[in-house]
Amino acid sequence: MSVFQEQLARCLAAFQVSTAALQTMAQAFAADMQAGLQGSPRSLAMLPSYLSTPTGREQGCFAALDFGGTNVRVLLTELHGDGTLHIQNRLTRSLRDPAAGYDHIGPAATATALFDFIAAQLGELLPPGPAYALGHTFSFPIQQTGLNRGTLMYWTKEFETQGVVGQEINELLGAALKRCGRGDIQPVALLNDTVGTLLAAAYSDVHCDIAAICGTGHNTAYLEPHHPATGKPMIINLESGCFNGVPRNDLDLQLDAASESPGISHLEKMVSGRYVGELARLACLRLLPYGLLAGSPAAMYLNGSDCLDGATLALWAADAAPRYVGIRRWLTEHCATIDPLAADCAALQAIAQAVLTRSARLAAASFAGILQHIDPELTRPHTIAVDGSLYEKAPGYAAALQSTLQELLGSKAAQVTTRLVKDGSGVGAAIASAVAVRS
Ligand code: BGC
């Protein structure tokens, strides 16, 4: 084996997590959940949503705002009251458009401009006339004190807008709606996207009690059968990206140290699309001195932090050997690298696959931890609803997640179904407003 192949193998091995390590992580996750419910210090935030799962009989026309990525979406949804629904109208807008001269999520952006922009999109989709009850999916950690009340704890993903952290989110939105003359649109519910996805899936599937996002950010919510505050079922937003009981390698430590929030959010930094590209980049940098992409301008390109993202890894992972048409095209377009060696393309592909597979396996271990907490013997069926670009688009990701659950749960894994619930966060917001209006 050449020195390069040896170093590549070593790098790939650092991303392998054994079944035993995943079992240990699942146990630690379940213990952290338990501690969180009892109010002891823990890394999981365990945030209350003030919502339980829907009955499926929720009915009526509701507006929804889905805020959490660079695109904001607004929807008008009709719930039929029999587990089915119809999206009557929808609109998607980017929160950042340099060509149009605006950026509502960068460090110079302000809360007023951001919420005025969102209110304008709502005003465009919803014709004045009837009053609208609005559910607001806000895909960040929110400390809720009621179904319609919650403050942003801190921004995640690439958001940095000033004046939002610590503020009542729906007050900011309500004030902006009034400023633009649309006081007829009333925010009645505030929820995390994982909670929205759980609601959307549970609207037609009584077995759904866990929902996760495996996309730019990573997080999971679950239905706690007996919430200590109420003794009743309540959906909890785990903010599972904060979980710190994960086995990390030296590249994880390097990424964490250079990140905007060193020392926290270990799981998010190993699983989410926001960071997997950076992990792959650090792995490539390790291999440059041993001949990866030797003599090509790609080496220079890879020196720039955040130059790889989840979509690039998905493209590399999906490419077909031995021609590697996709990787070759990517190298030409991004790094002016013509005619790379097949061995280099194979190495890039192996790195992408290793990082993505580990992401799926760690997410699966956290699901196993939740199942251990809610139904240790797996006596009943559970559906885990998952949304997000990694789960939906990265080749082999959903399969790796499913097979890891099998590995961890053995024959009882037959009780657990994992399924894609696309855009559930918007539909979930409509369901949450129906619950709010009813109560
Ligand atoms: C946020 C979560 C969110 C997840 C998926 C994370 O960065 O902290 O609140 O659910 O991204 O959007």
Question: Rounded to whole angstroms, how far apart are CA atoms 30 and 228?
Answer: 16
- Sign of the CA dihedral running 256, 258, 264, 270: negative
Model confidence at 241: pLDDT above 90:
yes
Model confidence at 169: pLDDT above 90:
yes
Question: Rounded to whole angstroms, how far apart are CA atoms 32 and 20?
Answer: 18
Q: Is 401 helix (H, G, I), strand (E, B) or coil?
A: helix
Q: How far is the CA of 211 from the centre of ligand 1 (A)?
A: 12
Query: What is the atom index within ligand 1 of the atom nearest the CA of 142?
Result: 9
- Ramachandran category for residue 187: left, alpha or beta (phi over 0 → left; psi -120 to 50 → alpha): beta
Which range among 38-42, 183-187, 375-379, 386-390 shows the weakest confidence by mean pLDDT?
38-42
Do residues 427 and 393 make contact, with C-beta atoms less than 8 angstroms apart?
no
Model confidence at 176: pLDDT above 80:
yes
Question: What pLDDT does residue 10 have?
Answer: 97
Q: How far is the CA of 183 from the centre of ligand 1 (A)?
A: 29
Question: What pLDDT does residue 130 have?
Answer: 83
User: Could you please report the per-residue DSSP string of 224-275?
Assistant: ESS-TTTSS-EEEE--GGG-------HHHHHHHHHSSSTTS-HHHHHHSHHH
Q: Given ligand 1 and candidates 44, 219, 243, 421, which is best to mutate, with the most ligand atoms within 8 Å of its CB?
A: 219
Higher pLDDT, 340 or 197: 197
Do residues 167 and 117 make contact, with C-beta atoms less than 8 angstroms apart?
no
- CB burial of 276-314 (b: ≥16 within 10 Å; e: otherwise) equals bbbbbbbbbebbeebbbbeebebbebbeeeeebbbebbb
- Ramachandran category for residue 239: left, alpha or beta (phi over 0 → left; psi -120 to 50 → alpha): left
Question: What pLDDT does residue 295 have?
Answer: 85
Q: How far is the CA of 212 from the centre of ligand 1 (A)?
A: 9
Q: Which residues line ligand 1 (CB under 6 A)?
A: 68, 139-141, 156-157, 192-194, 213, 217, 219, 239, 241, 268
Question: What pLDDT does residue 432 have?
Answer: 96
Question: What pLDDT does residue 143 have?
Answer: 95
Question: What pLDDT does residue 54 have?
Answer: 94
Model confidence at 338: pLDDT above 90:
no
Q: Give the containing element (helix H, strand E) for 366.
A: helix 342-374
- Residue 260's pLDDT band (cuts 50, 70, 90): confident
Question: What pLDDT does residue 344 have?
Answer: 95
Question: Rounded to whole angstroms, how far apart are CA atoms 348 and 360?
Answer: 19
Specify the pairing of strand 416-420 against strand 382-387: parallel
Question: What pLDDT does residue 146 have?
Answer: 95
pLDDT in tens, 288-304: 999 999 988 888 899 88
Q: Which residue, chain included where needed, has tokens 């994960």?
A: 246
Share of the chain above pLDDT 70, in %: 100
Question: What pLDDT does residue 299 have?
Answer: 83
Question: What pLDDT does residue 104 have?
Answer: 97
pLDDT in tens, 183-228: 999 999 999 999 999 999 999 999 999 999 999 999 999 999 999 9
Q: How far is the CA of 169 from the centre of ligand 1 (A)?
A: 16
- Residue 240's pLDDT band (cuts 50, 70, 90): very high
Question: Model-level pTM greater than 0.85?
Answer: yes
Model confidence at 122: pLDDT above 80:
yes
> Which residue's CA lies nearest to atom 9 of ligand 1?
140
Model confidence at 259: pLDDT above 90:
yes
Query: What is the atom index within ligand 1 of the atom nearest the CA of 69?
Result: 12
Question: Rounded to whole angstroms, how far apart are CA atoms 219 and 215?
Answer: 9
Question: What pLDDT does residue 249 have?
Answer: 97
Mean pLDDT of 130-134: 93
Model confidence at 1: pLDDT above 80:
no
User: Could you please report the per-residue DSSP string of 33-87?
Assistant: HHHHHTT---S---EE-S-----S--EEEEEEEEESSSEEEEEEEEEESSS-EEE
